[in-house]
Amino acid sequence: MKKHDVQTIITALGGRAQLQALLSVGASAVSNYLARDELPQRAVGPVCAALRARGFTVDPTCLEIIGQRVPAAASVPLDNPHMAGNRQIANGATGSALLDTHRSSGTGQARVLLIVGGGIAAYKALGVARRLQDHDIAVTGVMTRSASEFVTPLSLAALTGQKAYTDLFSLTDEAEMGHIQLARQTDLVLVVPATANLMARTANGLADDLATTILLATTAPVMMAPAMNQAMWGHPATQENHAVLVARGIDMIGPDDGGMACGEEGTGRLSPTDGIVDAVVAKLAGRHKALAGHHAIVTSGPTIEPIDSVRFIANRSSGKQGHAIAAALAARGAKVTLVSGPVSLPHPPHVTHVAVESAREMMDACMAALPADIAICAAAVADWHVAGDTSGKLKKDHAGPPRIELVENPDILASLSAHKKRPQLVIGFAAESENLQANAAAKRARKGCDWILANAVTRADGSSVFDSDSNGALLLAGNSCEDWPQMPKIALAERLADRIEAHFG
């Protein structure tokens, strides 16, 4: 993350105490942030959301404040973040105008209303709230009374940077944000966990608390992630309620099979956080299809080159960056062919996944996927493979270790760049250990690609970019060289997708 001005952020939030509450840290942690003049990576989501709730326009990649919608928003107390919106309403705008203003501000930020039900998996909703914000989605939390037996509204508020709403009849809530406004001022309503009780109440049209009233009043799409004991899930009452909700157009995410908190086995586990977040992102993507009609080939992960039938040469690539790019392009409507070496990641939704192992297989899969408009070579492709026949297992014998002869692999990036069906935009990655810019520029010229994203294999703090969740890079495009600071790989993927969108726009 680019160095930002921590003092400016604290002032904008309304003081040190507000930052403490937001990040659930003590005063000494805030002193450390000030001394280092840097916030931890995990602060990005909540701080970004809190600043936005106060009317600031914020660059989510580095927390730089680049504008202010409401004058003097810094003086708004954090426990009342919607005051910023109310001021605008007091100045003559309506609640829905507030949403429009937000959209037309150019952030395009999607909004999810997260309803937390009263089940043992309620704590997982906090992780979902956090991960959604990694996708630049603003989250507002609503909890049922039972949910607050499992997690506190304060935890949800701290993670979302917004007040967590609990009470239908709270005068304060109604004055700040009426229940109908809550139901309407969102792009999607997500229920995590959807308990048997909450599903039953929704299926029967009850509106006996804030959560069910919102579910009845909303015109936004609704998604539910059920979680309950397997007998509760299998009960005909729950199954009928489930069928009713699906028939009414509610998207169900899970539940999954497996062990339960109660020790039983069966269907009823909450879907993994990633699965829930991916489903929401895919659903929201329907509203933003700028790359529709474009085909992108994205390579991702490592290749593995057999030495014999049991041993191989590989590298430490996790595929996180390539998969995030594939997801970002698919979310913008591109048809994506993801050619991936072996990784332990789930495939992003709405991509055609081609699983390969060796560089030669990856090459064949890329060529077979042509024609395409965009090619992004993010995979860590082995430069060499083992010569000769690699079938059978090499035996240890008295003649000493075997000689392994290496042969150069085909160059996928150069081949795509020189192909007669060359994609209009070919982007390569360069992982360099030294002279980042010069080596990347030389690689771009050598390979004939249009842009190159160069990242340092080892970062300033000694950590490796491989398997990390964050990345920073130099983008060499045309005559320019942009320095993209460390940011979550998902954010870097979105930034690249923005640039690609602008290129084709």
Ligand X SMILES: Cc1cc2nc3c(=O)[nH]c(=O)nc-3n(C[C@H](O)[C@H](O)[C@H](O)COP(=O)(O)O)c2cc1C
Buried b (16+ CB within 10 A) or exposed e, 363-382: bbbbeebbebbbbbbbbbbb
Which range binds ligand X by CB under 6 A, 144-152, 179-187, 412-420, 480-488? 144-152
**Phi and psi of 299, rounded to 5°?**
-100, 150
Residue 105 is classified by DSSP as I
Choices 88-96, 181-189, 225-233, 395-403 (CB under 6 A): range interacting with ligand X: 225-233
Asked if 215 is part of the footprint of ligand X (rule: CB under 6 A), the reply reads: no
Min dist CB 214 to ligand X, Å, is: 13
Q: Find the shortest distance in angstroms from Cβ 46 to ligand X.
A: 24
Residues 112-131 touching ligand X, rule: CB under 6 A, are 117-121
Q: Whose Cβ is closer to ligand X: residue 122's or residue 427's?
A: 122
Q: Which of 62, 262, 366, 481 does the annotation list as catalytic? A: 262
Binding segment (CB under 6 A) for ligand X, from list 15-23, 111-119, 293-301, 432-440: 111-119
Q: Find the angle CA(116)-CA(493)-CA(417) to the nearest 5 degrees.
A: 150
Please identify, using beta-carbon distances, which residue of 40 and 272 lies nearer to ligand X.
272
The neighbour count for residue 75, using CB atoms within 10 Å, is 11
- The nearer residue to ligand X, 60 or 254, going by C-beta atoms, is 254
Q: Which of 198, 277, 412, 416 binds ligand X (CB under 6 A)?
A: 198
The answer to whether residue 262 is catalytic is yes
Q: In what order do the strands lie in the sheet with 470-477?
A: 352-355, 335-340, 295-300, 374-377, 425-432, 451-456, 470-477, 480-488
Give 431-465 as a DSSP string.
EESS-HHHHHHHHHHHHT-SEEEEEESB-TTS-BS
Task: Choose, by CB under 6 A, the member of 137, 138, 203, 232 that binds ligand X.
Answer: 232
Q: How far is the CB of 172 from ligand X (least distance, A)?
A: 21
Return the number of the residue (211 or 425) whose C-beta is nearest ligand X: 211
Residue 144 found at the interface with ligand X (CB under 6 A): yes
Check binding of 195 to ligand X (CB under 6 A): yes
Mask for 430-449, x = binds ligand X (CB under 6 A):
--------------------
3-state secondary structure of 231: helix
* Terminal Cα-to-Cα distance of the chain (whole angstroms): 28
> CB-wise, 196 or 430, nearer to ligand X?
196
227 sits near ligand X (criterion: CB under 6 A): yes
DSSP string, 108-137: --EEEEEEEPSSTTHHHHHHHHHHHHHTTE
Nearer to ligand X, 198 or 339 (CB): 198
> What is the footprint of ligand X within residues 242-301 (CB under 6 A)?
none
CA distances from 375 to 306, 309, 338, 484 (A): 26, 32, 10, 21
CA–CA separation, 145 and 124 (whole Å): 17
Q: Are 425 and 453 in contact (CB under 8 A)?
A: no
In the complex, minimum distance from the CB of residue 228 to ligand X, in angstroms, rounded to a whole number: 3
The span of 37-45, 131-139, 224-232, 385-393 binding ligand X (CB under 6 A) equals 224-232
- Mind spelling out the 3-state secondary structure of 384-406? EEECCCCCCCCCCCCCCCCCCCE
Which residues contact ligand X by CB under 6 A?
117-121, 144, 146-147, 195-198, 227-228, 232
Residues labelled catalytic: 262
